[in-house]
Structure 1
Amino acid sequence: MSIAPRAVLITGANRGLGLEFVKQIVCFATPPKYLFATCRNPDTATSLQEVAKSHSCVKVMKLDVCDFNSFNNLKENISSMLEGEGLNFIVCNAAIHLRSGFADTTPELMTSVYTTNVVAPVTLAQTFVPLLKLAAQKSSEKGMSWHKAALVNMSSILGSVESNQSGGLYPYRASKAALNMVTKNQSIDLKTDEILAVAVHPGWVRTDMGGQAAPVSPTESVQGMLNVFSSMSEETNGTLVDFTGTVLPW
């Protein structure tokens, strides 16, 4: 990879894919000027803090994605650091996966997973769209791209209605199906502002969420996703793609 977007925001950056995104993006030939890496507890995010120590572009910031009242403060802090420039690229990565089937899915489980995996990305996008719009307006690039202004929602093939052959996993599947619809809506509603919106399936990855039996390493998944992001255009807008760039069924 050669040139990263100028200003990037990643949620859930303290571990798993979020942390791997940070590690790989700072190694671009031209890294971002700002990489805002958010997590619930920056003080205990030792791996992320290590990366930040050796890469001054990384700004570790506190964000609990379910604390919606804190979103505006975060936006104002980021906006002041950007000094009149926009935010080019957002990855809504923070999510939870509570495994439960038809019999043991409770209202509390459904609500908890839905709040983190759907309501939080919607609310975050609403909060930060002014900074994405600003980036698009200030860009001299033609068309749509991640260098200009783009929003990526971390989804899953488990949210695909068409691909579901095994059932189960009610809260997670339902939340990712909803996030896919959110992404499609955003791709339509933000198009006039030249802001891309894409949902991505990272593959079945060896993380705390994916488990150690998963076939794809975090390194491989994130390398693939960054390749996909760097080639996003109007044709990609409003699609669900995997880390190899394959368009998946809704």
Structure 2
Amino acid sequence: MDFAKIYVRAARVFKGKTDPGRAAIGGPVAAKRYRKLQEDYQEAASTVQEQKLLITQLEEDLRSFNAVSSMFRGEAEGEPVTGSQVEADVVAEVVKDVIPGVTAGDKTAVDSILPIVQSQRERYRLRAQELEAHSLGQQQQISLLQNEIDKLRSDNVKLYEKIRFLQSFPAKGGQASSEDTESRYSMQYEERLDPFSTFSRKERQRKYMNLKPYDKITLSMGRFIMSNKVARTIAFFYTLLLHSLVFLVLYKLAHTESCKRDYAADCHAKQFLKLGNPPDHLFATCRDPERAEELKILKEEDDRIQIIKLDVTSQTDIDAAARQVEDRVGDRGLNLLINNAGMTRKRQYVGNLNRDHLLEQFDTNVIGPLLVTQSLMPLLLRAASLYNEPDSCNKAAIVNISSILGSIAENKSGGMYGYRPSKAAMNMVTKSLHEELKNKGILVAALHPGWVRTGIGGPEATLSPEESIKDCLNVLSKLSTEKSGCLLSNNGDKIEW
């Protein structure tokens, strides 16, 4: 039925009804027509009411139909029709099913329903987007609240544990003690909740994650050892044992080197006693007389040997040794002083030098012998003034045991930055003493004993201590003013400075 024609007829009926003069002209025919039009009007009104009900039902059906948008996929499937044509066809099918008497080709009905469907679809789409955004926000809020609840639950459990711990203690010392304990644990609990403490923990964790693998292993081992009683005990005794072994090894090395020096001194003493004209007094010095077993044996065999404690780096020892020598020789003075003290350090190259080691070598190799010479100088001058004979070791002489390594001209390999300069300085001291004492009857010479198998020379040296001392005594027996102030080798040849 054409709804537009129905509405026109109804309008004409109402118009005729309001004009009584015109209605009366028709007579019975008009009355019959009027009744006919009134019936048509009622039928049209009933049809409109039914359509309103159908539209309402259609809207309800559209609300429950969530997949309306899935029906508009004609282009994706390769169909040549447009979106509006698809919508019109779908709406026509729906109208045909829900409105009896309306065909799929009825364009008027389709055009009247299509805008409603499109507007409802758009409104539901926007509403669905709003609901999805709101749902996502609610989920995020729920997640945050759940995390806060978990944290609060954990804190409450810890707080409850502390409360139970405090309640397990009997009340001793009155209420004040209990309040102090609660206050202390309350402060600890507040520190756990402190954001700065949380930040510190996170910062420590971040720094730990930035560590290299071997640093993490070292830190983990340290934490394990410090947190485990058995591990701490094992680590303590292991460290103690390791330090004890290192101490024993160093002590053994020092003792061996000292014994080698004492052995060299013993050789000196033995060689002097075997001379054709041995001295009346022989003073053998060492740092620890208690461990100088060979010297003790020689002293028991010959009372001309006097063992004196002397560390050339100690001024107290130097002064005490000078007094002992003076007490023994009296006015006769001292004829020969041999400064034999010396030491070195291994691996003295640029890159591993140490200030203390360098100063130690200069103190032992140069400063100490010079101060010993200064303390015994009055006895040497006294001996030089008593004898009217050519200058020699039998009259008064100072012999500084030096080394060819202190020669600048013979330096072909470098290195040994503590030992070489100290021996070069000893050579300079020898030259200066010679210039100062040459008119006072005292000879001064620096003597290179050769490469000797001692603590300094090492086991690969070419000469034994006995061989070196024999050569040196031969050089000293021939020492004269011509070779005074020079650096001499163990065979008596001069070595360039």
Task: Report if TM-score (shorter chain) is over 0.5.
Answer: yes
Structure 2 CA distance for aligned equivalents of residues 48 and 209 of structure 1 = 21
Matched with 1:61 is 308
Matched with 1:210 is 457
Q: Secondary structure at the match of 1:224?
A: helix
Q: Secondary structure at the match of 1:170?
A: coil
- Give the alignment's Cα RMSD to 1 decimal: 1.4
The structure that has the greater radius of gyration is: 2
Matched with 1:149 is 396
Structure with bigger strand share is 1
Give the CA deviation at 1:17: 3.2
Structure with bigger helix share is 2
Structure 2 CA distance for aligned equivalents of residues 123 and 210 of structure 1 = 25
Within-5 A mapping of 1:5-154: 15-99=262-346, 100-141=348-389, 143-154=390-401
Matched with 2:487 is 240
Is 1:223 paired with 2:493? Answer: no
Structure 1 CA distance for aligned equivalents of residues 435 and 294 of structure 2 = 37
Structure 1 CA distance for aligned equivalents of residues 267 and 318 of structure 2 = 24
Matched with 2:496 is 249
For residues 87-128 of structure 1, what are the alpha-carbon distances to aligned partners after superposition, in whole Å with 9 as ceiling and x for unaligned? 000100011111211211111111000000000011111111
Pick which of 32-41 and 207-216 moved more.
207-216
Whichever residue aligns with residue 431 of structure 2, its letter is K
User: Hey, which bits of structure 1, 4+ residues long, moved more than 6 A?
Assistant: none
The normalised TM-score by structure 2 is 0.47
Give the CA deviation at 1:13: 9.5
Contact 1:13–1:37 (CA under 8 A) maintained in structure 2: no
Structure 1 CA distance for aligned equivalents of residues 408 and 419 of structure 2 = 12
Q: Secondary structure at the match of 1:15?
A: helix
Give the CA deviation at 1:19: 2.5
Give the CA deviation at 1:69: 2.6
Whichever residue aligns with residue 342 of structure 2, its letter is A
Contact 1:16–1:208 (CA under 8 A) maintained in structure 2: no
Contact 2:336–2:398 (CA under 8 A) maintained in structure 1: yes
Contact 1:153–1:183 (CA under 8 A) maintained in structure 2: yes
For residues 186-231 of structure 1, what are the alpha-carbon distances to aligned partners after superposition, in whole Å with 9 as ceiling and x for unaligned? 0011112111110000000111221111011111111111010011
Structure 2 CA distance for aligned equivalents of residues 216 and 190 of structure 1 = 33
Report % sequence identity.
38
Give the CA deviation at 1:83: 2.3
Structure 1 CA distance for aligned equivalents of residues 452 and 308 of structure 2 = 25
Whichever residue aligns with residue 128 of structure 1, its letter is L
5+ long unaligned stretches in structure 1: 1-11
Contact 1:35–1:58 (CA under 8 A) maintained in structure 2: yes
Contact 1:13–1:39 (CA under 8 A) maintained in structure 2: no
Contact 1:14–1:38 (CA under 8 A) maintained in structure 2: no
Whichever residue aligns with residue 122 of structure 1, its letter is L
Whichever residue aligns with residue 148 of structure 1, its letter is K
5+ long unaligned stretches in structure 2: 1-258
Q: Secondary structure at the match of 1:21?
A: helix
Contact 1:155–1:199 (CA under 8 A) maintained in structure 2: yes
Distance 1:170 1:177, change over 3 A: same
Whichever residue aligns with residue 51 of structure 1, its letter is L
Give the CA deviation at 1:14: 5.1
Contact 1:13–1:19 (CA under 8 A) maintained in structure 2: no
Number of residues paired by the alignment? 238
Give the CA deviation at 1:74: 1.7
Q: Secondary structure at the match of 1:24?
A: helix
Q: Which has the higher contact order (CA 8 A, sep 6+)?
A: 1
Contact 2:488–2:494 (CA under 8 A) maintained in structure 1: yes
Matched with 1:201 is 448
Structure 2 CA distance for aligned equivalents of residues 222 and 106 of structure 1 = 33
